[in-house]
Chains A and B, each alone.
Chain A
Amino acid sequence: MNGVTPVLELNDVAVHFGARASLFKPLPSPVRAVDGIDLSVAPGETVGLVGESGCGKSTLSNAIVGLLRPTRGSIRIQGQEIAGANTALLRVVRRNVQMIFQDPALSLNPRATIGSAIAEPLAVHGIARGQALKDRVANLLEQVGLKAEHAARYPHQFSGGQRQRVVIARALALEPALVVCDEPVSALDVSVRAQILNLLVDLQRRMGVSYLFVSHDLAVVRHICDRVAVMYLGRIVELASRDTLFSNPRHYYTRALMASVLEPDPVAQRAKTRSMLSGELPSPSNVPSGCAFHTRCPAATAVCTAERPELTVRPDGALVACHHA
């Protein structure tokens, strides 16, 4: 990245969950939820992470913010290794990484005022006290489009969109270099979704924060991301700049995802041919051999069943893991 230290650098990150036999279904092999991810995020950049439910997006996000321990691989935040780091270092490094979850209702304590929710990280890290703390909270509330006097209210007195603003204010309190957003707008109404997306873009312009943006919604990803990684069964199958990915999707899985996006335009939608993806995501405890996508791929041949394709770079810079694309 031309000498600029990435805010986030992942090398061969894997998260496996131990095999646990249940009464109904013995699980013979571990769940390989995330299995060898290389990815970096530059300062001020937004990188999207897309893929079907269960492909490992949240697991990877949780590993990045330290909620889960990676099974192998290296996670660097602003150049500092956090996989296996001691608690003191982790505390310092983690200040630079915050997370926003899907459901704002679940990420706020219903019995704490939103002022104290936002003040908490500032107090914990000893950044501000007394009047300075109050001023900082008021300023953060205004940054996210709320009012200073809202600090005394409780979460239930706000709508879903306002609660997500509070969650964003709290995530930004420590001026992190990176915010991992796991489906930050999926639980919101359409009209409110646009308000929050605009806010995230504004804050990035103002503060230079980077986002790792996890979403099911490709239209949202296309709107907000600079680069996009497409995940399938715990691995990245394609990684490219937004324009390259959306104008020239190469992996058959990426193409199928694009074909499934519904444009809010009946004429365009009728003209679109749906390349149907048959079947569903296989279980990550039983990943197919070779290219994990071969069981659903329209172009699969013998080599796809036998050999796993590595990510290789294409002339326009896109990285694609496919024998035939």
Chain B
Amino acid sequence: MAGLTVEDLSIDIAGASVVDGVSFSVGGGEVMALVGESGCGKSLTAFALLGLLPDAAEVTQGHILLDGLDLASLSERELRRLRGSKLSIIFQEPTASLDPLATIGSQIAEAYRLHHKVSRREALAKARAMLVSVGIPDPDRRLTQYPFELSGGMCQRVMIAIALICGPDILIADEPTTALDVTIQAQILDLMKQLVAERGTGIVLITHDMGVVADIADRVAVMYAGRIAEIGPVDDIFAQPSHPYTALLLASVPRLDVSPKERLATIDGSVPSPERFGPGCRFNERCPLADGRCRIDTPPLLAHRPGHFSACWHADRVSEIARAAA
């Protein structure tokens, strides 16, 4: 299959199962959003896709397929060739992922030369064109500047330029706009939409912001405590959430049609840390629908509508939560 497919991925850290049986796919020209609160395993999933997991983390099962090719069957050299050329990542913290001692121009050009045998001059010309296409004004001056001379929004554009210079098929973006102002966030999201429309890039976008999801995603996977709670088309998920966690997340965001200072729906407690993940549904401690079975048995991901799956023993009662919160 064309695109990126993740099958039953599990990751352990120090004996705790931080990612457990995660499956999803993204095709060309499609945006798949991975949402969830901090500590749900979103970033580890992203790192695993590129074979960049920290030493402490171990993949215990599952496959990652790029255009049908299993990444586990590749040597480190082959993987390196793939990264950047077919599969690229933009990290959460833009300033931390740029080299403070190298000019913007040389960093973008190097990314190109890693995969193409061209002269520095040709690579720099390519870098300049890339800066223009990510909307950085005055590219000639920017090429010679260092990261500290750029704002957060501009550093993020440079990261995007580096990630895109080799024309990857799949872009993985981990919270690419979380550190930015709303005005700059809008510019970056529009840039990503343009990529999807014009180049047919497939994007895995990681975020905790339901507004970002609503703006850019075609499909959504909601993660909770290392597992996928719910996955499906964006309109379906927002209109008919089929997992209590999704329904409550949506209800807890202040929005236009909720009167001011009215109580917002809340979820009791907070995301448990991985060593505290218990048996059964990992959401059971915070779930208003939880019963005895939820505390013992893990609910499987089941289809409710075409392409829309959720893992909840009481998925048919989730609308009660949405109603109670309204």
- Show the binding face of A for B, using Cβ within 8 Å: 24-25, 52-53, 159-162, 189-195, 197-198, 201, 216, 218-220, 222-225, 242, 256-257, 259-269, 274, 276-277, 279-281
Q: Which A residues are in CB contact (< 8 Å) with B254? A: 194, 197, 219-220, 222-224
In the assembled complex, B195 has its CB within 8 A of some CB on chain A? no
Task: Give the distance in Å from the alpha carbon of A257 to the alpha carbon of B183 in the complex.
Answer: 6
In the assembled complex, B187 has its CB within 8 A of some CB on chain A? yes
17 CB < 8 A contacts A-B: A52-B182, A191-B248, A192-B270, A194-B265, A198-B264, A216-B182, A219-B256, A222-B260, A223-B261, A224-B254, A225-B260, A260-B186, A263-B255, A264-B214, A266-B235, A266-B238, A276-B186
Q: Which A residues are in CB contact (< 8 Å) with B148? A: 24
Inter-subunit contact B190/A189 (CB<8 Å): no
Task: Give the distance in Å from the alpha carbon of A191 to the alpha carbon of B265 in the complex.
Answer: 8
Given contacts A222-B254, A223-B254, A279-B137, contact A189 B154 (CB under 8 A): no
- B 176-204 to A, binary, CB cutoff 8 A, 1 in contact else 0: 00000111111100100000000000000
In the assembled complex, B74 has its CB within 8 A of some CB on chain A? no
Task: Give the distance in Å from the alpha carbon of A77 to the alpha carbon of B248 in the complex.
Answer: 40
Inter-subunit contact A263/B256 (CB<8 Å): yes
Q: Which B residues are in CB contact (< 8 Å) with A25? A: 149
Q: Which B residues are in CB contact (< 8 Å) with A218? A: 182
Q: Which B residues are in CB contact (< 8 Å) with A190? A: 37, 208-210, 249, 252-253
In the assembled complex, B234 has its CB within 8 A of some CB on chain A? yes
Task: Give the distance in Å from the alpha carbon of A256 to the alpha carbon of B181 in the complex.
Answer: 12
Task: Give the distance in Å from the alpha carbon of A53 to the alpha carbon of B182 in the complex.
Answer: 10
Inter-subunit contact A260/B249 (CB<8 Å): no
Count of residues in B whose CB is under 8 Å from the partner chain: 47
Interface residues in B231-269 by Cβ distance below 8 A to A read 234-235, 238, 248-250, 252-256, 258, 260-261, 263-267
Q: Which A residues are in CB contact (< 8 Å) with B213? A: 264, 266
Q: Which A residues are in CB contact (< 8 Å) with B151? A: 280-281
Q: Across the A-B interface, give the 9 residue pairs with the lowest CB-CB distance, nearest first.
A: A262-B211, A223-B254, A194-B252, A264-B210, A191-B267, A194-B264, A189-B37, A260-B182, A266-B214
Inter-subunit contact A191/B266 (CB<8 Å): yes
Inter-subunit contact B182/A198 (CB<8 Å): no
Shortest CB distance A254–B (Å): 12
Shortest CB distance B285–A (Å): 13
Inter-subunit contact B183/A262 (CB<8 Å): no
Task: Give the distance in Å from the alpha carbon of A192 to the alpha carbon of B311 in the complex.
Answer: 23
Task: Give the distance in Å from the alpha carbon of A274 to the alpha carbon of B182 in the complex.
Answer: 12
In the assembled complex, B38 has its CB within 8 A of some CB on chain A? yes
Inter-subunit contact B190/A262 (CB<8 Å): no
Inter-subunit contact A201/B261 (CB<8 Å): yes
Task: Give the distance in Å from the alpha carbon of A52 to the alpha carbon of B184 in the complex.
Answer: 9
Q: Which B residues are in CB contact (< 8 Å) with A192? A: 270
Inter-subunit contact B208/A189 (CB<8 Å): yes
In the assembled complex, B41 has its CB within 8 A of some CB on chain A? no
Q: Which A residues are in CB contact (< 8 Å) with B234? A: 266
Inter-subunit contact A260/B255 (CB<8 Å): no
Q: Which A residues are in CB contact (< 8 Å) with B217? A: 266
In the assembled complex, B297 has its CB within 8 A of some CB on chain A? no
Given contacts A265-B214, A266-B214, A266-B234, contact A191 B252 (CB under 8 A): yes
Task: Give the distance in Å from the alpha carbon of A274 to the alpha carbon of B184 in the complex.
Answer: 12
Inter-subunit contact B263/A198 (CB<8 Å): yes
Q: Which A residues are in CB contact (< 8 Å) with B258? A: 223
Inter-subunit contact A219/B260 (CB<8 Å): no
B254 nearest CB neighbor, chain A only: A223
